[in-house]
Structure 1
Amino acid sequence: MKNYLLFYITILSVFSFNGYSQKSQVASADIKYDNYAYIDAIKTYERVAAKGYKSIDLFQKLGNSYYFNSDLDKAAKWYGELFSMSSDQQPEYFFRYSQCLKSVGETDKANMILEQFYQKADDDSRAKLFEKNKNYLEDIKANSGRYIIEDAGVNSKYSDYGSSYYNNKLVFASARDNGSIGQKKHKWTNQYFTNLFVADLGEESTLGEINEFSNTINTKFNESTPVFTKDGKTMYFTRNNYLDGKKGKDGNDITLIKIYRATFENDKWANIIELPFTSDQYSTAHPALSPDEKTLYFASDLPGTIGQSDLFKVRINDDGSFETPENLGKKINTEGKETFPFVTAENELYFASNGHLGLGGLDIFVSKINPDGTFDEVQNVGDGINSNNDDFAFLIDTKSRRGFFTSNREGGLGYDDIYKFIETRKLIYKKELFGNVTDLISAQILPGTTITLFDNQFKLVSTTNSDQNGNYSFNVDSEKTYNIRAVKQEYTTKEQKIRITRENGRTELPITLEKIRCKVTVGNDLGVCFGIKMIYFDLDKSNIRQEAAYDLEKILDVLIQNPTMKLDIRSHTDSRQTFKYNEDLSNRRAKSTIAWLVKNGINQNRLIGKGYGETQLVNKCLDGVECTEEEHQQNRRSEFIINSL
């Protein structure tokens, strides 16, 4: 992974050594380290460490050198030495160490280190993400298994990455040996500088012969990550700060990277300019266009970024000029690294990040862009595309569901490799909680009911009203518990709890409301007013259970409030067991119900009752007829028929 394209963070520290020889060796390594020549620095640091020398600074720099070059397993080794020597480290080292532990499969230990990271930096958005969702691996698992992946067929033993569609071709960056005498190597990675290459794109994303893209675009420095307008006449691309033979440097004498624009005229790419919001003092890279080509997305560490690199967008005016870049905000950006944006024709933002919760290294994430420019919940696209190493530069054709991405995972041909894929199952961006609201007795729909959604701590999330068909819906998060409150005039307010699972995109929760005033007359079942379908008894017994007493309290209250009301209490069973057994059991239960009401103050002469056993079934479930448990339940019922008012 070329971190000059992913952005870096420089940690300046001074070694304190005993012995002139070691001082001189490490001082030399420090110079290389501070100039980002990490490969050379590593050699010196490791030679010093091999002699048994231990230092917090030494282990920090060894860990960082490998971390910045995305060699996470080796970084894990040296960060392990660092934490063995002292766990009193800055929070960032806890985060880096956890990332490296994931890359070597030590997920439990990584999460333990993340927990400590949260204790040290609870205001860090990465720590908040972990504390909010410690079961993030389950979310990743739910999004996994959606891709068929194979080698793209264009990889070399060098670094190949960052592809883009262009006129039925695929353009990508590569550090392969192009035979040029002046081809340069970069001290950070010991890789050749990258140029753009192109291959014809065939059926099923097969790639043809590889050629250099353009000798007017490629230079002796780095070119990468192009994006093209649909008409093929304009391209934006990343290059080192180099134009017209002149190399720009920042205040530390470092050549950073910029986004450039070129137009296709007279069969060649020309008019190469750097974009006006670029600078010698910070990097801009990895351009991506919105579907209408009026907005350019990119990565940068320009002043005011939240993390090591953030994602930005900038409006492109009709005359080709640009508005002021806008940070995509904390929903997308973290204190870590967000980079390699890509926007699909369906307004989905894919990007790589090591700040959001992932499997290790850079993972690929996605968020739906709403019409108002806000973003939906950020989701990890899952295992397969993502690995324990760096995965980035995601590209997909939304019609064919085929695409490409880059990874430095195990088993690749080179330093970074391009893989092709087909998506077999689309990601569900939003979980929906929905249902309809009806009257408990009549089943009449109830439009205009106020439905309020609360979290599990009863903090307000959202409010809506049921529509003309009695329907309501909310966008919710998976693996969360919510409370729903339904309020309508003349009805009793109702609250229900619901758990949203990962498996389904839509969770249904019907709501039935009881009228505050239930109108009844002689011959009506009083139990219907309160939704009493059955008075519950223990199996084969007739003693009143606690939940039965709760329902009987409602009947008791009505009888007290209406002293002239008389009831006929009827108990029914299903057809299972013998006719005689069911008759006797239902009789005992009817008598137990009457006895409970009499015990609680109702005059015996207001109550009559009888058990009807299985003689008044409400459906087909006679002896010998196969029925579901739900169908049998319909026959096991209690009735409170009003005989007199």
Structure 2
Amino acid sequence: MVKYLLKPILVFIFLFFVSNTLISQEKKMQKAKSQYDRYQYIDAQQTYLKVVKKGYRSADLFMNLGDSYYFNSQFEEALKWYGELVDSYPDQVEPEYYFRYAQTLKSVERYTDSDKYMQKFTELSDNDLRAELFRNGSDYLEKIEFQSGRYEIENSSVNSLFSDFGVAFFGKKIVFSSSRDTLVFNKNVHQWNDQAFLDLFEAEYDSVNNTLSEAKKFGGKLNSKFHESTPVFTKDGRTIYFTRNNFEKGRFGRDQKGTNKLKIYRSYKNSNGGWTTPQNLPFNSDEYSVAHPTLSLDEKTLYFSSDMPGGKGLSDLYKVDINADGSFGTPENLGERINTEGKETFPFISVNDDFYFSSNGHLGLGGLDIFVTRLNPETKEEKLVVNIGKPVNGSKDDFTFIVNDTSKRGYFSSNRQGGKGGDDIYSFVQTEDLKDFCEITIAGLVTDKDTNELLPGTKVSIYDNNNTLIESFVVGDDAAYSQIVKCTSKYFVRAEKEEYVTLEKLVNTLDKTQTLDTPLALEKKIKSADIGDDLAKVLSLKPIYFDFDGDYVREDAAIELAKVIEVMNQYPEMKIEVRSHTDSHGDDAYNLDLSERRAKSTVKYMISKGISSDRLDGKGYGETKPINDCGNDTNCKKEEYQLNRRSEFIIVK
């Protein structure tokens, strides 16, 4: 009996153990999800990793684990888990995760693989601006390369082993954010990235030696025990706007999920040279973040980043009016030209009114890239959002760009490899202005060379200098074609149609935006001719030239005459009259005699090549039969006179 009872007991114990293990894992997953939802990514990571180590696998697990690294800019770690998601659960991959996977592939410069997954993202995301940008800009790497090489950069001397970023100009000083010594007095760390909280620091710039002094704390009461970052100052240096955690009057504010958000604060310099207690701006909220302020040139508009409701992406760029009394208007989203479904953040407006910002939604090299545009564009070029190129941008996060347009010096921040800490400040000298946007359009009509009729149905192909096909299409009823190509390049445009001779034209593009009109006039393989027709036109002969005051058939003329001779050999019954004409320059009688000699010389040459004399006649008409109104006593252009200097080969039988 005991023997038979033992097996059910063992089964019960096994099932109890398995059940408890699964429940334990589920609890850990729930805990990690709760931490993830509150942006406590480091805690979430540890929980998820323990679950994975015990063999637990799911699409949600890999998504959340990848995100816990992705949103901390630990892209290479995120790449591992997104890769597991894509490989193990291809049927459960949401479009957004193809985008994030593509971004992490860029972080290790696997751009070809990244583009493959961006293509998947594009196919599943018809209404996504990021997809549209990729669809219309698959040559983004070449455009970035076009703008690259305009900066000389170096790691700034103010960097520490901790996080340093977000420089602002403040007179002869710079003010920036750093977590370098906050752990000395405050043992707290941020659960988002396991790093100490940020304070504002300052360093004085020596323009003679191009050096910065040792950094020291800035602003006294401006720094709290939580984050302060990304300041901006008015030109008189008496007002500061900066980012801080939602922390006011000793109270740590949270949203409904228990998450602490970011807010913008304002402070004024008081009569003692210190700063007033920072004011919480009225459009801040406990429920969303408002951060990273910058000012317009007239200081009447504040620009910032926020994930407030109604935005397009993870964070959008906004503007808000600053009224004369210091109050504020209603924040306004900057729109789809700038904002994407990704992250747009860290705005800056230079003295030249160039608007710089960081984005991972616009096409870049990986992580956040720095872009520039105009806020109030007047031309097509000024509407463009342009990646400023390498070496400022790279495969990691690049952000908080500022520049003095007069000295061409500035700063940006990056978490690229080779720095001193997590985020580092880089100084730069701009050696060249933004290169003019250049886009060439090759366009034209396809026509019959002889009749000028449109030729719909013609196949037009564009090849590059290496004879690689760029694009091929069949023209419609309007017989028009158009193709955008690169600047300063060489292309071949080929037109093919049944019953016509294939035509190929070489097109050299310049370094300036323009449309190159490239008409394609096709010649029929078999042409009809009748009595009275001019073989020179039927055969599209080049002009028959003679030396000045001469009637000897030149070598270039002989090539054209060979075509006429060949046709006469094919049609032995054909007879022609060679007619020679001059323009109106010179004496009338002289021109008549000269044309007669040239006609006879042409006939003589053709007879020497085997054409019977009874099939040829030659006659000179001098200037008596012009094809335009450029006769005696006229003031025509040189090209118009040239039209009258011609040879005709008229079929008389």
1:45 to 44, 48, 55: 48
1:119 aligns with 2:123: yes
For 1:518-533, list aligned pairs within 5 A: none
Partner AA of 1:340 in structure 2: F
| Residues 17 and 23, structure 1, Cα contact 8 Å, conserved in 2 | no
1: distance between equivalents of 2:51 and 2:562?
A: 92
1:597 deviates by 10
Query: For each residue in 1:560-584, what CA deviation from the matched residue of structure 2 results, as whole angstroms up to 9, or x when unmatched?
Result: 9xxxxxx99733599xxxx999736
- 3-state SS of paired residue (1:351): strand
Shift of 1:90: 0.8
Pairing 1:40-189 to 2, within 5 Å after superposition: 40-88=43-91, 89-178=93-182, 180-182=184-186, 184-189=188-193
Q: One-letter code of the match for 2:267? A: A
Match of 2:554 in 1: 583
Distance 1:479 1:100 in 2: 31
Does residue 1:31 correspond to 2:34, yes or no? yes
Query: Is the CA contact (8 Å cut-off) linking 1:572 and 1:638 kept in structure 2?
Result: no
- Asked if residue 347 in structure 1 is aligned to residue 353 in structure 2, the reply is yes
Cα pair distance change 1:315/1:477, threshold 3 Å: farther
Higher Cα Rg, which structure: 2
TM-aligned CA deviation for residue 425 of structure 1: 1.6
Partner of 1:625: none
Q: Which amino acid aligns with 2:119?
A: E
Structure 2 counterpart of 1:302:
308
State the alpha-carbon separation in 2 of the partners of residues 238 and 569 from structure 1: 76
1:416 to 407, 417, 423: 423
Q: 1:546 deviation in Å?
A: 5.2
Verify the 8 A CA contact 1:569 1:607 in the aligned structure 2: no
1:397 Cα offset (Å): 0.8
Q: For the residues of structure 1 that align with 2:439 and 2:125, how far apart are their CA atoms?
A: 33
Following superposition, the deviation at residue 257 of structure 1 comes to 0.9
Distance 1:286 1:189 in 2: 19
Give 1:301 shift: 0.9
Please name the residue that 1:382 is paired with: 389
The 3 A distance-change label for structure 1 pair 641 and 22 is same
Q: Which residue of 214, 217, 240 maps to 2:219?
A: 214
Against the structure 1 CA distance between its residues 55 and 638, is the aligned structure 2 distance closer, same or farther, given a 3 Å change threshold? Answer: farther
Task: With the length of structure 1 as denominator, give the TM-score of the two structures.
Answer: 0.71
Is the 2:545–2:554 Cα contact (8 Å) retained in structure 1?
no
Q: Which amino acid aligns with 2:136?
A: K
Letter in 1 for 2:646: F
1:444-523 paired onto structure 2 within 5 Å: 504-505=511-512
- Residue 326 of structure 1: aligned partner: 332
* d(CA) in 2 for partners of 1:315, 1:499: 50
Question: Match of 1:278, as an amino acid?
Answer: N
In the superposition, relative to structure 1, how do residues 245 and 586 fare at CA in structure 2: closer, same or farther (>3 Å)? same
Cα distance change, pair 322–479 in 1 and its aligned pair in 2 (3 A):
farther
Q: Structure 2: which amino acid aligns with 1:76?
A: L
Distance in structure 2 (CA, Å) of the matches to 1:568 and 1:601: 25
Per the TM alignment, residue 347 of structure 1 is displaced from its structure 2 partner at its CA by 1.3
User: Distance in 2 between the 1:413 and 1:144 partners?
Assistant: 24
Cα distance, 1:384 vs structure 2: 1.0
Q: Is the CA contact (8 Å cut-off) linking 1:170 and 1:201 kept in structure 2?
A: yes
**SS of residue paired to 1:298:** strand
**Which residue does the alignment assign to 1:617?**
none
Q: CA deviation at 1:25?
A: 2.8
8 Å CA contact 1:250–1:256 kept in 2: the answer is yes
Tell me the SS of whatever aligns to 1:431.
coil
Equivalent position of 1:338 in the other structure: 344
Q: CA deviation at 1:55?
A: 1.6
What is the total number of aligned residue pairs between the two structures? Answer: 515
Q: How far, CA to CA, are the matches of 1:358 and 1:500 in structure 2?
A: 29
Contact 1:174 1:195 in 2 (8 A): yes
- Find the counterpart in structure 1 of residue 234 from structure 2: 229
One-letter amino acid of the structure 1 residue matched with residue 134 of structure 2? F
Equivalent residues of 2:439, 2:512 under 8 A apart: yes
Structure 1 residue 499 displacement after superposition:
7.9
**Alpha carbons 2:534, 2:649 under 8 Å: kept:** no
Q: Does 1:278 align with 2:307?
A: no
SS of residue paired to 1:131: helix
Amino acid at match of 2:576: Q
Give 1:354's aligned amino acid. Answer: N
**2:401, 2:410 within 8 Å by CA — same for their partners in 1?**
yes
**Greater Cα offset, 280-289 or 171-180:** 171-180
Aligned-partner Cα distance in 2 for 1:394–1:510: 41
Once the two structures are TM-superposed, the CA of residue 128 in structure 1 deviates from its matched residue by: 1.0
Query: Does the 8 Å CA contact 2:577/2:649 hold for their aligned counterparts?
Result: no
- Secondary structure at the counterpart of residue 32 of structure 2: helix
The 2-side partners of 1:498 and 1:323 are apart by 57
Cα displacement (A) at 1:407? 0.5
SS in 2 for 1:428: coil
Distance 1:505 1:399, change over 3 A: farther
Report the CA distance between 1:395 and its aligned residue: 0.8
Cα distance between partner residues in 2 of 1:39 and 1:29 = 10
**CA distance 1:373–1:305, change in 2 (3 Å):** farther
Partner residue of 2:579?
607
Report deviation, 1:137: 0.9
1:626 equivalent in structure 2: none
Instruction: Please name the residue that 1:196 is paired with.
Output: 200
How far did 1:205 drift? 4.6
Cα distance, 1:70–1:394 mapped onto 2, change above 3 Å: same
CA RMSD of aligned residues (A): 4.3
- For residues 234 and 170 of structure 1, the distance between their equivalents in structure 2, rounded to whole angstroms, comes to 15
Displacement of 1:642 in angstroms is 8.9
For residues 465-487 of structure 1, give each alpha carbon's deviation from its aligned partner in whole angstroms, at most 9, with x where no partner exists.
Answer: xxxxxxxxxxx995699xxxxxx
Give the Cα separation in 2 of the matches to 1:585 and 1:37: 83
Distance change >3 Å, CA 113–CA 506, structure 1 → 2: closer
Question: 1:304, 1:109 → 2: CA distance?
Answer: 33
SS at match of 1:265: coil
Offset at residue 399 of structure 1 (A): 1.1
Cα 1:131–1:372 shift into 2, 3 Å: closer
Q: Which amino acid aligns with 1:109?
A: D
Unmatched tracts of structure 2, length 5 or more: 1-18, 442-470, 477-483, 490-504, 581-598, 606-642
Partner letter of residue 570 of structure 1?
Answer: I
Deviations 1:294-321 (A, max 9, x none): 2211101111100010011122222222
* 1:33 to 1:595, Cα distance in 2 relative to 1, 3 A: closer
Q: Structure 1 residues 584, 208: CA separation in 2 closer, same or farther (over 3 Å shift)?
A: closer
Q: CA deviation at 1:556?
A: 5.1
